[in-house]
Amino acid sequence: MPISIVTDLDVSPEKIKKEEVELDTIEYSEISHEVELEKSKKILDSLALPDESNVKILISPHWTLEWCLYLSSTLNECFKECVSKVHSKTEGFKKNKAGKYDEEKFKTTLIKKLKDRTLDKVAIAHELCQQICSLDTLAIPEDDSIYYLVEAIKHVSKV
């Protein structure tokens, strides 16, 4: 029986600067692709699964599932809507007067909540599930940051 194990990469952005002006501004470094690949290789090597194993390990290409959803070309807007709905009192997740998100503010707030472990992942997942279920179709391209989930499903369903 095929088994897919899905896990987070857990390489987070590092805080590089904090300014105390009108609002606390925290800037984070970008995570290098090389660091992500190195961590992923270490995880896979440590498991030492035989090549013919029915177990497939799928590691998020980026920090966490939520970070991959934020970076997703397919579900980015849907994810942000869900986060905004669940964390409706969080300033960084609110739309501006033009009805758009301030991307830098959203990104920084998301990083902070992920690092502080204050993001309500269960409620966001529930909202996201409802939004996805209301879609007629959902095509996730192979270069999307959440495609590893498609690979996990294909592996266990033998597609």
pTM: 0.79
**In sequence order, which residues have a C-beta less than 8 Å from that of residue 4 and are 6 or more positions away?**
55, 56, 58, 151, 152, 153, 155, 156
- What are 111-155's pLDDT values in tens digits? 889 988 999 999 999 999 999 999 999 999 999 999 999 999 999
- What are 39-95's pLDDT values in tens digits? 777 777 777 777 677 888 888 888 889 999 999 999 999 999 999 999 999 999 999
Q: How many helices and strands, by DSSP H and E, does the chain display?
A: 6, 4
pLDDT the model gives residue 16: 47
pLDDT the model gives residue 18: 52
The number of residues making up the chain comes to 159
More confident residue, 71 or 34: 71
- Quick count: other Cβ atoms within 10 Å of Cβ 24? 10
pLDDT the model gives residue 46: 78
